[in-house]
Structure 1
Amino acid sequence: MNKNIGSKIKKLRTQKQMTLKDMSEKTNLSIGFLSQLERGLTSVATDSLEKIADVLEVDLTYFFIKPREQNNVIIRGYEKEVFEIVNGKEINYHLSSNLKDKEMFPRMVDILPGNEESSQFNYTGEEFIYVIEGILTVSISGYEKELYPGDSMHYSYKNIISKDGEASKVVNQDHSFFNRTSKMVRVLVVSTPNPYK
């Protein structure tokens, strides 16, 4: 359990390009304690984990929910599980029953109306987005694009979308999802690397 929580903290901290010192200053927890926590060498009290969750912009439940370990390669529509809720307005569902030996990380994301606070990620992998329902606004390195039902987007850390929709090369990029409409947005997202591998 401690190792699983620690690896999730390290993954999120790295995505946000935060050092242990940055996190220590924001949570009032020592660098030594945070380092041991990330390596699974110590346990953490709920109130301390809540401080970490606030800094990393995830719900506390993110650290405890994990995908089911099954050999079944099929998940029925009624079997998909919520694994993360971000800011109370972005609901992430697992679309795979066992992610430990997979390269891709597939998920369905429901973004509730008026979501202007989507978490920002510094992305270093590859991502495919397909809009199932609603109008999704994607911000990548400062450029915004609206995607409509049936639209898709596929990019890697080497691409950035320019104003005219063309891709050019960069080392990495910040990206965010938004729902600026009055209706729910539902998207299929498949990305690498898989954080559960």
Structure 2
Amino acid sequence: MENEIGKKVKELRTHKKLTLKDLSELTTLSTGFLSQLERGLTNIATDSLQKIAQAFDVELAYFFPSPNKNRKCVLRSYEKEVFQVVNSRFIHYHLTNDFPERALLPRLIELLPINSQEDISPYAHEGEEFIYVLEGTVTLFINHEQVELFPGDSAHYASTTLHNWANYTNKMVRMLVVSSPNPFTE
């Protein structure tokens, strides 16, 4: 996947007639790192890729391929693909290959940092959710309250309760989320 991301970065950079130095200044990423990325020689963290997306004024999802429709029951860590990027802040990875056929939807969600002044609108929907924080600090909005969740903390609630999540820190948050019913059930 690094090769594909690197190719897309180079295409955007050359299309906008930017040098590696120009892109480095826009993103605070080194020219050496950007050169290696474009050649597929290095991995990139999601928050660094977000800087590049902002520099090019594209959505983060631009850099990720569409999910494949592989139906095996085992999903290897190296096969996991980005399923959806929401508002350039929530990156969803499905943790199953046959998610449309299952009652539960297990996902890995990465939350990029946001400004604490941004308005977070809680919402409700059918079902229930379970979240488990793997990395970082999540602010959970639930029942008109704010609760900080740290690595190893979990929450299980009816999705009909007003809720939402935010990352007010300066580091990536990673969490396991299991939803029922699966909104993608065929």
**Which category of TM-score, normalised to the shorter sequence, fits these structures?**
0.5 to 0.7
**C-alpha separation in 2, matches of 1:69 and 1:119:** 33
User: Residue 149 of structure 1 aligns to which amino acid in structure 2?
Assistant: P
> Which has more strand, going by share of residues?
1
Structure 2 unaligned regions, length at least 5: 1-58
Name the counterpart of 1:178: 166
How well do the aligned residues superpose, as a CA RMSD in angstroms? 2.5
3-state SS of 1:100 partner = helix
TM-score by length of 1: 0.56
Deviates more, 1:101-110 or 1:74-83: 74-83
**C-alpha separation in 2, matches of 1:78 and 1:193:** 27
Deviation at 1:89, TM superposition (A): 1.5
Name the counterpart of 2:151: 149
In the alignment, structure 1 residue 127 sits paired with structure 2 residue 134? no
Answer yes or no: is the 8 Å Cα contact 1:123–1:175 preserved in 2: no
Following TM superposition, where does structure 1 have runs of at least 4 consecutive aligned residues deviating by more than 6 angstroms? none
Q: Percent identity?
A: 45
Structure 1 unaligned regions, length at least 5: 1-58, 158-171
Deviation at 1:76, TM superposition (A): 1.2
Deviation at 1:117, TM superposition (A): 5.6
Query: For residues 66 and 101 of structure 1, do their structure 2 counterparts lie closer, same or farther at Cα, with a shift above 3 Å needed?
Result: farther
**C-alpha separation in 2, matches of 1:130 and 1:118:** 20
Equivalent positions of 1:1-197 (< 5 A) are 67-114=67-114, 116=118, 120-157=122-159, 172-197=160-185
Deviation at 1:185, TM superposition (A): 0.4
Deviation at 1:195, TM superposition (A): 1.3
Answer yes or no: is the 8 Å Cα contact 2:66–2:83 preserved in 1: yes
Answer yes or no: is the 8 Å Cα contact 2:122–2:142 preserved in 1: no
**C-alpha separation in 1, matches of 2:80 and 2:119:** 25
Deviation at 1:101, TM superposition (A): 2.0
**C-alpha separation in 1, matches of 2:155 and 2:74:** 25
**C-alpha separation in 2, matches of 1:74 and 1:117:** 39
